[in-house]
Amino acid sequence: MNAKKLSTYGSWALITGASDGIGRAFARDLAAAGVNVALVARRLDRLEELAAELERTAKVSTRIIDLDLSSESSHAELAQRTADLDIGILVAAAGFGTSGELTASDIADELSMIDVNCRAVTAQVHEFGRRFVQRGRGAIILLSSIVAFQGVPRAANYAATKAFVQTLAEGLRPELGRRGVEVLSVAPAQVQSGFGRRAGMNIVSAPTPDVISRGALGALGRRGTVRPGFLAAFLELNLKLPRVLRTRIMALVMKGMTGH
C-alpha cells in the first residue's frame, strides 16, 4: 500500500459499509495512509466509535454519514452531504447476502439486497465517477466476490448481484481509465465479518477484513480485478474450468457453508 500514491487521488475517501468488516478495514487503512475519510453506514454508534478512533490514532479528519443505502432517497442525500469534500477515492463496500433456495426466501430481503448491492453502487459510481472525471483523477473500488463468475446454487441472487458489480467494474475500467480514473474490482471469498451471520453462512476459516483491504489498495492502479485471501486465490484456479463445472463446485461449497 503506497500512502503517497493514495494521497494523489484526493484528500478524502468515501467508504460505504464502514461500520463493519471490509468497509471498516478500508477506513482504517486509508486513514493510516493519511487520507481523510467519510464514513457511510446505517449504524450511527458504530460510525461515531470508528471516527473517534481514526481521529485519535491517525490524526485525520472524518465525516459521519448515517444512511440506509437501500432507500431510494439515499443517493441524493449522499451527494448533498459530501458536496464540499475533495473526495478522490470511492470504496463501495456496503452490501449483504442471503443463502438458501431463492423460492424459500423472503422476497423483501432479496429485493433490498439488489437495492444495496446494485442500485446504490450504480448511483455512487455515477455521482463520484462524474466528479473524478471533472477533476481528471480518482479511484473507484467496487466489492465483487469470488461467486461473481458463475451461478451459485443456494446463493443465486447474491451471486447475481456480485456478477453485476464485477461486470460493471470491468466495463468502467477502460471507460474511465482514459479520463484519469482508476477502477478496481475486489473479489474475495469468505471473510471473517458480520456478513456471514447476516447471510446465514457458517464461515469457519477465512482471512480477516484487513487482508482484503490491504490486498486491494496494493493492487489499485496496477490491476483490474484482485482476489485477495488464500481461498479466493485457490478458487481462482476454478475459473479455467467450464462454467457449468464451476457452478457445481460452488454448489458443494455453499452446501457446506449453509444450514438451510
Check if 158 is active-site.
yes
Among 26, 158, 164, 195, which one carries the catalytic annotation? 158
Of 216, 237, 217, 238, give the one whose Cα is nearest residue 227: 216
b/e burial code for range 239-249 (CB count within 10 A of at least 16 → b): eeeeeeebbee
Partners of residue 138 on adjacent β-strands = 181
Residues that are catalytic? 158
